[in-house]
Amino acid sequence: MCGIVGVVGKLNTKEILINGLQKLEYRGYDSAGIYVNDGQNGSLVKETGKIKDLEKIITDNISGEIGIGHTRWATHGKPTVENAHPQFSEDERFYLVHNGVITNYDELKSTYLSDVKFVSQTDTEVAVQLVSYFSKQGMNTTDAFKKMVSLVEGSFAFGLIDSQDADRIFVAKNKSPLLVGIGDGFNVICSDAMAMIDQTNQFLELMDGEIVVLEKNVYHIFDKDNKEISRNSYTVDLDPNDISKGTYPHYMLKEVDEQPAVMRKISEHYLSDGINVDADLVKTVSESDRIYIVAAGTSYHAGLVGKEILENLTDIPVDVEVASEFGYHIPKLSKKPFFIFLTQSGETADSRQVLVQVNELELPSLTITNVKDSTLWRESTYQMELLAGPEIAVASTKAYTAQIAIQAVLAKVVGTLLNNEQALNLDLKEELSLAANGMQTIIDEKDMLKSLTHDFFENQDHAFYIGRGVDYAVSIESALKLKEISYIHTEGFAAGELKHGTISLIEEQTPVVAFINDPNTAEHTRGNIKEVQARGANVLVIANEKFAYSDDQIILSSINELLEPLISVVPAQLLAYYASLERGNDVDQPRNLAKSVTVE
Ligand code: F6R
């Protein structure tokens, strides 16, 4: 969701900006733009659509040592050239990129800017016009920028250039992610270290409310109270090869294929030579009387599986909460609650607003995320890293299975401390190794899955996934995967619930995918399959070898039943992938979606 890049002090500014924006494409966007200044003249280029469309209109004569760039995911105003960033002031002196949502923009417009002619419908334009307004009142640019930042409410990451003094980038953030990268004779800004990792691996963490003035050889950080402070950079350990597609046609396919390796990595990191989990974290969880898992989308679905694992292995009750709901309707909490935030990106605004409240209540929390040093990572009491490697495709795959595996690690250590019999008997290292093998077996069957997808979903506009217990959790994740990238309207359902209403939607040839991995309910789900088949449904069964019938289409190897989702979701990920491909969709960047959802 919106990406920012900027550089000061490099001759090939234009190339660095475009390259950086390409690395941020995964976040989701619908227009893009750059502003480059050579000390005399500035060039602004903006376009709707993809970076490749922007590149086509960038001419060779555009050059300069300073520039900012942006990918915009429309919130206020349609994705048009006028609404794309950088936005500029009426006098065309100031250029600004912005990530986030300014909530009081209408009020600021009527208070300060009633005489200004606006050219866009964005909230962002108010911010840049305000800088110009305060500059005309006699303030220098640093003070005008600081004044603007002090007035805007909501979430923001800003990068601003003053074309009359084009050797500095003015930077600020609140709630939205933004990093400053430190180079030798140059400095950069970016929403994600990935965008600039080929320039530098030294980054500065920015706190909400801070302002940075960035020149090519120096930077000044001002805290909330306008006091200049110093801060050391940290090294980002990111291999540029991890963010390349290699020989794969799409990131999603690469990331599905990486899942067995991720299982092995998690096992090696957390379970080799004893158990490598923060003892204080384990003690705090074991002393809690209820665990609240807070998450959104696919991470929420991983939390539903985590609930089963944690309750069985620790005997501590677990509630799984949709972040965007929970934050505004906090139920009566238990006496000793413990919060787990599941988030691939570590930046999801819906989850973060809950964490802010949890911190205000001084309650303990754990963030399980793929992005070390992300906002939720920094702001929670404890942290566990997913170790899945960068996930670039918008549709989450390897982060989902890693989230399940990490919750299993936590459940195992907490349950062991609490003398839970299931936890004591669980050989998690062995189970994760079996999961990796089971995943690999499915991954090796890609051709079969491709042709199944064709036979099953061709010309279909609606589909259902059904299951019970953890299979229900996998059903709703599988349905999300199919709908988000194939645009087939898909619902995940508790298998027994269909007959209470939804079965009226089953028609001749309606695709229904059924999961059968839960020993307690395998036979009941078979009954539900018969019910939909009797009404014409075309059923595809994904079953564990223990309960499979000879004519089931996909048969999975068997592991501990609580962990079976690690394997059973993989065929569903591949069905979604091939359905999207077959329909000619943009698999990695489906329409309207963003990878890192930094607005509420
Ligand atoms: C779907 C998907 C989303 C995310 C959701 C939360 O494939 O990826 O549903 O799971 O936007 O994102 P994170 O996990 O970054 O908090």
pLDDT digits over 30-63, tens only? 999 999 999 999 999 999 999 999 999 999 999 9
Average pLDDT over every residue of 196-217: 93
Q: Are residues 517 and 407 in the same domain?
A: no
Distance 599 CA to ligand 1 centre (A): 13
Q: Are residues 508 and 406 in the same domain?
A: no
Helices 124-136 and 141-151, packing angle to 10 deg: 130
Q: Which of 73, 255, 345 to mutate to test the pocket of ligand 1 (most atoms within 8 A of CB)?
A: 345
Q: Which of 441, 470, 491 is the last residue of a domain?
A: 441
Q: How many alpha carbons fall within 13 Å on the CB side of residue 506?
A: 25
Q: What average pLDDT is seen over the chain? A: 94
Residue written as token pair 């962002």: 124
Residues with CB under 6 A from ligand 1: 296-299, 343-345, 348, 351, 395-396, 480, 484, 597
Would you state the pLDDT for residue 309?
98
Average pLDDT over every residue of 204-218: 93
Q: Which of 176, 251, 298 to mutate to test the pocket of ligand 1 (most atoms within 8 A of CB)?
A: 298
Would you state the pLDDT for residue 423?
97
d(CA 304, CA 323): 13
Is it the case that residue 595 has pLDDT exceeding 80?
Answer: no
pTM of the model: 0.83
Is it the case that residue 515 has pLDDT exceeding 90?
Answer: yes
Residue written as token pair 């994904």: 542
Q: Are residues 434 and 455 in the same domain?
A: no
Q: Are residues 372 and 482 in the same domain?
A: no
Would you state the pLDDT for residue 244?
79
**Would you place residue 592 in the very low, low, confident or very high pLDDT band (cuts 50, 70, 90)?**
confident
Which residues, at least 6 apart from 81, have a Cβ–Cβ distance to it below 8 Å?
31, 46, 47, 48
Is it the case that residue 532 has pLDDT exceeding 90?
Answer: yes
Q: Which of 193, 226, 241 is the last residue of a domain?
A: 241
Would you state the pLDDT for residue 74?
87
Q: Are residues 177 and 66 in the same domain?
A: yes
**Would you place residue 299 in the very low, low, confident or very high pLDDT band (cuts 50, 70, 90)?**
very high
Residue of 14, 216, 481, 595 with catalytic role: 595
Q: Are residues 141 and 223 in the same domain?
A: yes
Look up the CATH number of the domain holding residue 312. 3.40.50.10490
Is it the case that residue 461 has pLDDT exceeding 90?
Answer: yes
Q: How many alpha carbons fall within 13 Å on the CB side of residue 560?
A: 22
Q: Are residues 18 and 137 in the same domain?
A: yes
Q: Are residues 356 and 432 in the same domain?
A: yes
Would you state the pLDDT for residue 32?
97
Is it the case that residue 327 has pLDDT exceeding 90?
Answer: no
| Total tally of structural domains belonging to the chain | 3
Q: Are residues 34 and 57 in the same domain?
A: yes
Q: Which residue range forms the structural domain that includes residue 18?
A: 3-241
Q: Are residues 379 and 464 in the same domain?
A: no
Q: Are residues 179 and 321 in the same domain?
A: no
Distance 259 CA to ligand 1 centre (A): 17
Distance 299 CA to ligand 1 centre (A): 6
Look up the CATH number of the domain holding residue 150. 3.60.20.10
- Joined together, the tokens standing for residue 587 give 């698999």
Pairing of strands 154-162, 169-174: antiparallel
d(CA 403, CA 409): 10
Average pLDDT over every residue of 8-21: 95
Active site residue 595: yes
Q: Which of 208, 241, 274 is the last residue of a domain?
A: 241
Percentage of residues in the chain with pLDDT exceeding 70? 100
Q: Are residues 236 and 249 in the same domain?
A: no
**Would you place residue 421 in the very low, low, confident or very high pLDDT band (cuts 50, 70, 90)?**
very high
Bridge partners of residue 541, in order along the sequence:
514
